[in-house]
Chains A and B, each alone.
Chain A
């Protein structure tokens, strides 16, 4: 079982602030973290490895400093890490990113066949949830999104059974490998790295791939050129300023509370009584 997990280094959105005047994101001093949704996928992949054996390769596209995110993945137990980095990728949107990652996965497959690809449900900086499905489409893999549980993997018949959160319920799906899975948050909890893996992460020779090594065939499909998405405006929505009002009541009896509230409501909206009468008739 060879699993590729796609991860992204993102700014810690909990610590991001928007500049009050220019409305741009203030990135200065904001720490970079592994996209939290990716960690659920990574942990799920590691659990499969623990149970069925095999190998986990983490893959990330980003600037050189994304190395930190990949080393972190190794500290949790991933076997190998590949950083796809090239100036030519700068400005990639989800279309260009999925193209690049799919190319890289094809290169990985040249060494060891890939049985599954895991991706985060979405990132916390872009929030599109498009890259995972984009990779699946390009690799012609079956796609399982919003997976909340992996029930079983049949190694002999090369099938996987998962629970998938869908509107109004949970679907139980069985499909053929290879496939791409995006995992729902809360599915698991990331393990605490062992000291052995911490040492391994600190020493691991990362593979760094430029666009040639990543097997990019069509350079017009990566970077800004390959990205049809245009960000026309970035702004911070003005917070709603509805003030709560504290109303004094005579007692805490439900009846008194209701009477006080209704009286308040009718004074605030004088036409309310009329409207009710109209609707009633």
Chain B
């Protein structure tokens, strides 16, 4: 007997879970299919949880979600080989509830999220891969899974199958990913006693620190590094564009190993025992790389739809937001007794355009190209800034004015006055 659902959600990551949860809660008959052994087994993220996006799906998530530390301090490091210039923002405001950002361990968090989805009434089936979309002309009418008797039907199929959405590619909704639109990130979790973590970062029991890094750690490639504090561990990772790895013939693993030996980073993770090593693709093509996101009988959410704000390191919140807006769209159409046609589903696109998600992605739409064609942002500038700081902070009998002149000379020498002005203009345009 054929199974028929109101909605099928493919994937149990943040976007799929948000969609499935809200749909099930609204009383729809929902099936969620996950390829991994259990939800979270294949999911990778830094991982910072942005409260706002989750709050709009599960308002009281703080009551039982497995949260590591709330962020009280953000650091930004610009690294040279031996040194870094950094800025820090720490505020007592961040210690007031409700907290805005948390570090999380995705394996635990996803398990919790999935439990909520199932409790809401969605049927979850794991270890099952959706191999094809079932079509009636141009309309998606269901899915075909890699198991005997694997045809399942639904009014709407929500593709939440992640960055490398094989399904969307197969169905022709999505072109093959361009290596310049995808970053490859690797990270490790280093186990350290809770007290050690707190001592090293000068933080209290539930307080956490985020360090974002840019500079020579990426060896000239377009990318960033990061370091987060968890309850009893430290997450450290680095990501660069896939096209750069290809060009540079470097492996992500080697890059992370090199990064861990940096004199500023080494002591922070010293003595830790590595607990987890994961790698993941991140769609960083931005606004211009967004594919078609809905059609007759289908919607696309999260990484599958390229919803990542690379500039601000935001992804899971965009995933949850798009999952929520997809669910709201489907619920609204159901309630109005409307069909899941491309024309009706355009409401999803409208909702996205009205939200921070599309507005932010639009704002930085030129960023990927600028950074791609201007590697100096990742090499020359970090080096110059560090040299300038070093020069100014070394007391050696040279007057400050001469030092300033030397620093200015360094900048112009490395990057010509015209280049400097051009770079400044480009950045201004990109952030405008």
Contact surface of A with B, Cβ cutoff 8 Å: 20, 29, 31, 68, 192-196, 198-199, 202-203
Q: Is the CB of B147 within 8 A of A199?
A: no
Q: A31-B38, A31-B41 are in contact. Are A195 and B107 (CB under 8 A)?
A: no
Q: Is B205 an interface residue (CB 8 A)?
A: no
Of B80-88, B120-128, B326-334, the one contacting chain A is B120-128
Q: Is the CB of B149 within 8 A of A196?
A: yes
Q: A20-B273, A29-B275 are in contact. Are A195 and B145 (CB under 8 A)?
A: yes
* Contact residues, B12-59 vs A (CB, 8 A): 37-38, 41
Q: Is the CB of B3 within 8 A of A198?
A: no
Q: Which residues in A have their C-beta under 8 angstroms from that of B41?
A: 31
The chain B residue sitting closest to A196, CB to CB, is B149
CA–CA, A176 and B275, complex, Å: 51
Query: On chain B, which size bracket covers the interface?
Result: 20 to 34
Q: Which among B105, B107, B125 is the interface contact of A199 at CB below 8 angstroms?
A: B125
The chain B residue sitting closest to A32, CB to CB, is B38
A142 → chain B, closest Cβ, in Å? Answer: 36
Q: Which residues in B have their C-beta under 8 angstroms from that of A193?
A: 147
CA–CA, A68 and B105, complex, Å: 22
Q: Is the CB of B273 within 8 A of A198?
A: no
Q: A29-B107, A31-B41, A193-B147 are in contact. Are A198 and B125 (CB under 8 A)?
A: yes
Q: Mark B113-153, 1 if CB is under 8 A from A, else 0.
A: 00000000001110010000000000000000101111010
CA–CA, A199 and B145, complex, Å: 12
CA–CA, A143 and B15, complex, Å: 52
Q: Which among B38, B105, B108, B128 is the interface contact of A195 at CB below 8 angstroms?
A: B128
Q: Mark B266-284, 1 if CB is under 8 A from A, else 0.
A: 0000000101100000000
CA–CA, A199 and B275, complex, Å: 35
The chain A residue sitting closest to B105, CB to CB, is A29
Q: Is the CB of B125 within 8 A of A202?
A: yes
Q: Which residues in A have their C-beta under 8 angstroms from that of B275?
A: 29
Q: Is the CB of B149 within 8 A of A195?
A: yes
CA–CA, A68 and B37, complex, Å: 11
A227 → chain B, closest Cβ, in Å? Answer: 31
Q: Is the CB of A202 within 8 A of B123?
A: yes
A195 → chain B, closest Cβ, in Å? Answer: 4
Q: Which residues in B have their C-beta under 8 angstroms from that of A20?
A: 273
Q: A20-B273, A29-B107, A29-B275 are in contact. Are A195 and B152 (CB under 8 A)?
A: yes
Q: Could you pull out 12 A-B pairs where Cβ atoms are within 8 angstroms?
A: A31-B37, A193-B147, A194-B147, A194-B148, A195-B128, A195-B147, A195-B149, A195-B150, A195-B152, A198-B147, A202-B124, A202-B125
Q: Which residues in B have their C-beta under 8 angstroms from that of A68?
A: 38
A199 → chain B, closest Cβ, in Å? Answer: 6
Query: Nearest 7 A-B pairs (CB), nearest first?
Result: A194-B148, A195-B147, A195-B150, A195-B149, A196-B149, A198-B125, A194-B149
CA–CA, A125 and B115, complex, Å: 27
The chain A residue sitting closest to B33, CB to CB, is A198
A229 → chain B, closest Cβ, in Å? Answer: 31
Q: A31-B41, A202-B123, A202-B124 are in contact. Are A195 and B273 (CB under 8 A)?
A: no
CA–CA, A193 and B37, complex, Å: 13
The chain A residue sitting closest to B232, CB to CB, is A28
The chain B residue sitting closest to A191, CB to CB, is B148
A22 → chain B, closest Cβ, in Å? Answer: 12
Q: Which residues in B have their C-beta under 8 angstroms from that of A198?
A: 125, 128, 147
Q: Which residues in B have their C-beta under 8 angstroms from that of A29?
A: 105, 107-108, 275-276
A222 → chain B, closest Cβ, in Å? Answer: 30
Q: Which among A195, A199, A203 is the interface contact of B148 at CB below 8 angstroms?
A: A195
A221 → chain B, closest Cβ, in Å? Answer: 35
CA–CA, A80 and B343, complex, Å: 46
A120 → chain B, closest Cβ, in Å? Answer: 20
